[in-house]
Structure 1
Amino acid sequence: MTTFKQLEAFVAVVDLGSFEKAARSLDTSQSNVSRQIASFEASFDVPLFNRDQRAARLTMTGQEVLQLARGLLRQRSNLAERFANADLVSSTLRLGVTELAAMTWLGGFIAELRRRYPRMRLEPEVGSSAYLHSRVRDGQLDIAIVLSAVRTTEMARLPIGQAQFGWYCASSLPIAPTLTLAEFERETLLLQGDVQSGGSVVGQWLQERSVHPTSSIPVDSLMALAGICAAGLGVAGMPSAVAQGPLKEGVLREVRIPIGAPQMDYIALVRIDAISDLHRRVATLAREQCDFASTFHGY
């Protein structure tokens, strides 16, 4: 007889790619996961995994079983979340957020999430929107808060909030406080993301408005972006919350251009074949707690 533990082990092995990672995610031993999978697979006349490969790859039958297993687990989750006391919800939530969310409202959100679901095990991960999207797609994250610029057809997109961006430079840099677009294009632009491959959503925002800076420097992190900007290497396009502290300290100053600065929408991504009431409640709570206006340390 098939059990939910077998279904959980099966889905975890597929999503995480190995028995070891599945065991760690389910907080059990690798041998137990192997037993669950062996027992589950024994109930089928054909194999679910391709044993010719070292990785946990599914056969065609395995792919069909996976979809049904996900559906059964989702229905069980919805049943428990809808009718059980929230204090008893003990599922693991693998949550992905961008650096900006981690720097602003994530702390308050986690505190409220733990208050509502004290038995929930939370596994947060911070990364770029593109990276987090791939992690949700591959089943390694349950939900991720990302920029809405991420395009996907296999996931639910739940609105979360907006972040205001601005243009900033070092206070010592000899740049006028207001620039024409022609003057702005001649400045070195500092942006988070891989500018050359279109990885910067701020860079894309400028291109859509026919603004083409002659020089740009891509920077991985927001903190590094603020530091490079303070060093006087160019004009940075970054979230207003990140610039608040350096502005108050007189390290940075704002630069204005005729088209203003972008306001970026953030969404929660959840796979359509795995979304549950809990995911929707988490997204609703994130929307309530979302505040991209100031950093967590109160600048």
Structure 2
Amino acid sequence: MNLQQLETFRWVAALGSFTKAAVKLNTTQSTISMRISELENELGVQFLDRTKRQIKLTRSGMDLLEYATNIHEQVTALKAKIANPETMTGSIKIGVAELIALTWLPDLVANLSHLFPNIDIELEVGLAGDIREKTLSGDTDLGIIPGNGKFGEGIEAISLGAIRFAFMASPKLGVPDRQLVPKDLEDWPLISLGPNSILSDLQESWFKDHDARPKKQDRTNSMEISAGLVRSGLGVSLLPLNYYDGDVKAATMQVLKTEPELPAISFYSIYATANNSPLIQKIIEIARQVSDIPD
């Protein structure tokens, strides 16, 4: 029995698939199968029930997973305390919300490149729901996204703080400069992010909870595209106040006065429980240091 076999078993258990575990561990499905078979042969018990379409843990498999997880945590703690960051090699894939990419992501990458010069960093910008799914599946190692703190089983989340958003429009659109309730915004074109966005969920609830429904809604996959459409006078969009403060001062956008006020949106660093490592913990630590998100 060795650490490689135990790590392979942990990922098969976490992902429920030899194929997905092979992708995560950058090896072949036959290698994954061989490692599991070697582990079962050495200990003389079956850890996986392969008779059904989806792989399930046997009773012995559940016991082994507990031990394998504890061993992984101990090895992770050992590396975090003793290992020299400059000797670490490999790659890390980070998925971030667009607002993070437009603000403090360069500072995060600069710090990581300095501290871990031999780690390759792969970045992806996307919607919160998509990044969450990729993080859970192991396709993405770490996500930095908005959310409500409930990311589901298998995901660990560390709060980074909250950002205030508000509905904004171009002054030339002609939205009244007064207190507006959801019903007042029904007739104005709404520019939204895709359905896998926490912003879309928030604004949908804001309208729905007050028996309102926008008559026209256009969708984009980019906050900056949404902002560009707003500047052009093509609609109303939910945007971060601080980031577009320059547009408000330049009178290319106005902040709409809405009642009830929209709650601040919290941002989190998330990672799959099975994917915890010293590198991920260090990235989260640095993210909290360089982030300009208020606590």
- Whether the TM-score (by the shorter chain) exceeds 0.5 is yes
Q: What per-residue deviation string (whole Å, max 9, x for no partner) do you get for residues 134-159 of structure 1?
A: 34444544432222314246444312
Question: Which region of structure 1 is more displaced relative to structure 2, 94-103 or 106-115?
Answer: 94-103
Specify the alignment match of 2:64 in structure 1: 65
Say if 2:286 is the partner of 1:281: no
- Whether the aligned pair in 1 keeps the contact of 2:149 and 2:157 (CA below 8 Å) is no
Deviations 1:87-124 (A, max 9, x none): 22336544332232223322321221121122334444
Contact 1:187 1:213 in 2 (8 A): no
Deviation at 1:163, TM superposition (A): 2.7
Q: 1-side partners of 2:273 and 2:293: how far apart? A: 27
Give the whole-Å Cα distance in 1 for the aligned partners of 2:165 and 2:179: 17
1:118 and 2:117 equivalent? Answer: yes
Q: Deviations over 1:175-205 (max 9, x none)?
A: 334453363454333332439x995224435
Paired AA for residue 74 in structure 1:
E
Per-residue CA deviation, residues 213-264 of structure 1 (Å, 9 max, x unaligned), is 54352624223423443454421112246646876887x4213215455532
Aligned counterpart, 2:40: 41
Q: What is residue 253 of structure 2 aligned with on the other side?
A: 253
In the alignment, structure 1 residue 76 sits paired with structure 2 residue 75: yes
Say if 1:148 and 1:224 are closer, same or farther in 2 by CA, change over 3 A. Answer: same
Q: Equivalent residue for 1:52?
A: 51
Q: Is the 8 A contact 1:101 1:292 kept in 2?
A: no
Any gaps of 5 or more consecutive residues in structure 1?
294-299
Aligned residues: 288
- What is the TM-score normalised by the length of structure 1? 0.76
Q: Which shifted more, 176-185 or 156-165?
A: 176-185
Distance 1:23 1:180 in 2: 53
1:72 counterpart letter in structure 2: I
Assess, with a 3 A threshold, how the Cα gap between structure 1 residues 17 and 271 changes in structure 2: closer, same or farther. Answer: closer
Paired amino acid for 2:264? Q
User: Following the alignment from structure 2 to structure 1, what is the Cα–Cα distance between the partners of residues 174 and 199?
Assistant: 29
5 Å matches for 1:81-92? 81-90=80-89, 92=91
Contact 1:191/1:238 (CA < 8 Å) preserved in 2? no
Question: 1:286, CA displacement in angstroms?
Answer: 0.8
Residue identity (%): 25
| Gap runs ≥5 in structure 2 | none
1:168 matched to which residue of 2? 168
Computed over aligned residues only, the root mean square deviation of the Cα atoms, in angstroms, reads: 3.7
User: Aligned partners of 2:268 and 2:230: how far apart in 1?
Assistant: 28
> What SS is found at the alignment partner of 1:286?
helix
35-44 or 90-99, which moves further after superposition?
A: 90-99
CA distance in 2, matches of 1:173, 1:184: 12
d(CA) in 1 for partners of 2:71 and 2:161?
A: 32
Once residues 117 and 15 of structure 2 are traced to their aligned partners in structure 1, the CA distance between those partners, rounded to angstroms, is 26
Q: Distance in 2 between matches of 1:199 and 1:40?
A: 47
Q: For the Cα contact (< 8 Å) 2:160–2:293, is it kept in 1?
A: no
Matched position secondary structure for 1:46: coil
| 8 Å CA contact retained: 1:129, 1:150 | no
Q: Distance in 1 between matches of 2:84 and 2:68?
A: 25
Point out 4+ residue stretches in structure 1 off by more than 6 angstroms.
244-250
Corresponding letter in the other structure for 2:180: T
Query: Does the aligned pair in 1 maintain the 2:188–2:236 contact within 8 Å?
Result: yes
Q: Tell me if the contact between 1:178 and 1:255 (Cα under 8 Å) persists in the aligned partners.
A: no
For residues 175 and 38 of structure 1, the distance between their equivalents in structure 2, rounded to whole angstroms, comes to 67
Match of 1:188 in 2: 189
Q: 1:162 to 1:216 in 2, by over 3 A?
A: farther
Task: State the distance in 2 between where 1:51 and 1:129 align.
Answer: 33
Distance in 2 of aligned mates of 1:43 and 1:199: 52
For 1:81 and 1:89, locate their aligned partners in 2 and report how far apart those are by CA, in whole Å. Answer: 11
TM-score (norm 2): 0.77
1:288 positional shift: 1.6
**AA of the residue aligned to 1:285:** I
